[in-house]
Chains A and B, each alone.
Chain A
Amino acid sequence: MTKRTRQDSETPNIIESRDFQALFDSLAKQGYRLVGPMVREGVVIVDDIAQVSELPIGYVDEQEKGTYRLTHSSGSAFFGYGLGPHSWKKYLFPPRMRLWQAQRHNGSFAIAADDSTAQEVQPLALIGVRACELAALAIQDRVFMGDYPDPHYKAQRERLFIVAVNCIHPESTCFCTSMNTGPRATGGFDLALTEVLEADRHYLLTQVGSDAGAKVLEAVPHRPATREEKAAADTLISHAAEHIERSMNTRGLKELLPASSESPHWDAIAARCLACGNCTLVCPTCFCATVEDTTDLSGENAERWRLWDSCFTTEFSYVIGGSVRASVKSRYRQWLTHKLSTWVDQFGTLGCVGCGRCITWCPVEIDITEEVRAIQAQHATISDGAGRKKKDAHA
């Protein structure tokens, strides 16, 4: 968080692909636990990584509404794939985390905070963070480091090294350009890479974003980039920006969505939505959690766990007497309105970064950009109709 961002004008460096492993080694040597992308069970996920060879080298994916297909090409790109279902949030906001333990004794009990929550958090290096995911991280910072900072999140966030990767192969589900979050990483990283793969060369144009980044880079063979190399990388990124297919017009959404709470379009979405919660699980900003209190069989030891939760379950809004949001329609409305409207009230930013994961992983192909457009269109029709009526009245 206290990272000093360096001048964007600073000359980037070149790491040749054959030297890329040195970056991993340099990070490991400085005590970072490395996590990065790899292929598992047909998808790109993120997990502990030590070797460049573990990256999804040569893998490309196709994504569409409700579709994800990963194929191995003859190419040798390290980062030729798009976003997988895992976001980095699992490292800062773990899907399951023990908050504390309690032991019964003498008819009473004692509670002790879990050791892992604050002090003993290992420094973590995230390798391959896309621009939209940096934006997601910045959003989660506002959520988890606000009035009541989450101890685990804060501790891990302060011990985070980020190797960002600029997007050069956007997916059809991406809409980062609408959300102003990508495809170029503009800050919040320690190092940012642009992978350039030419007929006879393969290198990573490396931008230093912090002193920590500079320090890690010291142990990696590198040299300043030439103007041509920098131009080549820039061209790739602008090319990517031009190839973003989806879009969302966020103008006026904050007001429009709460004002459209009775829109019949929610019924249309609810008719398809399975309330499975996939969108909330893959979303890099969704932060809802529940707690679970357990005891062991003897009843001598009790624990409290925090688990990811989803606003799509009926239990989520349960109060004595029943669930407040009993209908699927009200739950989808809650999710979308939260993401694109009330999030702004709460945290001063939208809750969506345009990563498109919720579009890809929705089993019934619900597309957030289409739904927003439909609500906007409906509103436009209504206002238009109202406008005409007014005119008629004047005539």
Chain B
Amino acid sequence: MLTPVAQPPATRLHDPMLPSLHRVEHARWDTDDTFSLELARVDGATIPPFEPGQFNMLYVYGVGEIPISISGDPARRDMLVHTTRAVGTVTRAMSTLKVGDTLGVRGPFGTTWPVDAARGRDVVIVAGGIGLAPLRPAMYRILAHREHYNRVVLLYGARTPGDVLYRKELEQWRAHFDLDVFVTVDRATGSWRGSVGLVTSLIGRAPFDPLNTAAMVCGPEVMMRFTTAELEKRGVKGDLIYVSMERNMKCAIGLCGHCQYGPFFICKDGPVFPYRRVQHLLSKWEI
């Protein structure tokens, strides 16, 4: 069984509660309500290494701090990329930041997608909505070492065509001969001529060998429940399915208790879990 790798102690921070200052280098809206920030350290240092799937705690001066997954390329050490939706107090404030503004960053924290351990297999990445953001670093890492994998499939479901994240990049990826990218929307609008339907409906026909596939799934919990069921139905082994969970987090180091999920602290035992470890909790109510 593949096991997600916890953050190596080498990158452990001196005081994990103390944010370091970052400057906004680029800010853009990906969709009507989702934006990406590219951040560089104010002191000019390289960003601490991170692994696909990990997250940072982002602090907006005087407003508050929230966990946001890292969505940039792990090979880049000059820039940190975060994509999030402007839905709460902190993210709304964050969405108004301009190039040159500063914010605080703590991290990286949490477990990682098993991208290295998945070598030699087919990889199926299933993302729903903003769930594509924490999976993008995994895509970058896999594409950088494409020769180590068999088939690579990305299945992505968004709400409407206007909600499709990283559209240009998806189109570029779709043009790769060694990559299968399928995008579907729950609701078609305008001139959309692509798929309409749930992301789960893509699993049945996607080209991969279920018996030798590692699957990485991120999206709303209900979407992940149905996706994992569909993957298993297709024949993917539960041991090779990984999911990323979300809960409220305040400290990100397993001390504040907020992100408890059964026996786990999502901040340090997750956010990426082997599906088998959380399967029994996924269908439980209000856990």
Those of A307-344 within 8 Å (CB) of chain B? 309, 311, 316-320, 324-327, 329-330, 333-334, 338, 341-342
Give CA–CA (A144, B254) in the complex, Å. Answer: 9
Give CA–CA (A318, B88) in the complex, Å. Answer: 11
Give CA–CA (A146, B42) in the complex, Å. Answer: 31
Question: Given the known A-B contacts A110-B21, A294-B62, are A311 and B102 also in contact in the complex, defined by CB atoms under 8 Å?
Answer: no
Among B113-121, B181-189, B256-264, the stretch in contact with A: B256-264
The tally of residues in B whose CB lies under 8 Å from a CB in A reads 44
Are the CB atoms of B102 and A109 closer together than 8 Å?
yes
B-side interface mostly = loop
Give CA–CA (A258, B65) in the complex, Å. Answer: 32
Are the CB atoms of A330 and B246 closer together than 8 Å?
no
Give CA–CA (A109, B59) in the complex, Å. Answer: 12
Give CA–CA (A262, B284) in the complex, Å. Answer: 9
Are the CB atoms of A302 and B61 closer together than 8 Å?
yes
Are the CB atoms of A290 and B59 closer together than 8 Å?
no
Are the CB atoms of B247 and A324 closer together than 8 Å?
yes
Are the CB atoms of B254 and A146 closer together than 8 Å?
yes
Taking CB atoms, residues of chain B closer than 8 Å to A151 are 15
Give CA–CA (A333, B284) in the complex, Å. Answer: 12
Are the CB atoms of A293 and B254 closer together than 8 Å?
no
Contact of B248 among A147, A261, A318 (CB under 8 A): A318
Taking CB atoms, residues of chain B closer than 8 Å to A289 are 250-251, 255-257
Those of B9-29 within 8 Å (CB) of chain A? 12, 15-21, 23
Taking CB atoms, residues of chain A closer than 8 Å to B85 are 320
Are the CB atoms of B286 and A288 closer together than 8 Å?
no
Taking CB atoms, residues of chain A closer than 8 Å to B253 are 147-148
Whether, in the assembled complex, B234 has its beta carbon less than 8 Å from a beta carbon of chain A, the answer is no
Give CA–CA (A311, B100) in the complex, Å. Answer: 39
Are the CB atoms of A291 and B254 closer together than 8 Å?
no
Are the CB atoms of B61 and A102 closer together than 8 Å?
yes
Binding site for A on B (CB under 8 A): 12, 15-21, 23, 42, 59, 61-65, 85, 87-88, 100-102, 104, 246-248, 250-251, 253-258, 260, 262-265, 268, 284-287
10 A-B pairs besides A293-B65, A295-B62 with CB distance below 8 A are A102-B104, A108-B21, A108-B101, A108-B102, A111-B19, A146-B254, A287-B255, A288-B256, A293-B59, A309-B256
Q: List 14 A-B contacts (CB under 8 A).
A: A107-B100, A107-B102, A109-B21, A151-B15, A261-B287, A288-B256, A289-B255, A290-B250, A293-B64, A295-B62, A302-B62, A318-B248, A324-B286, A342-B263
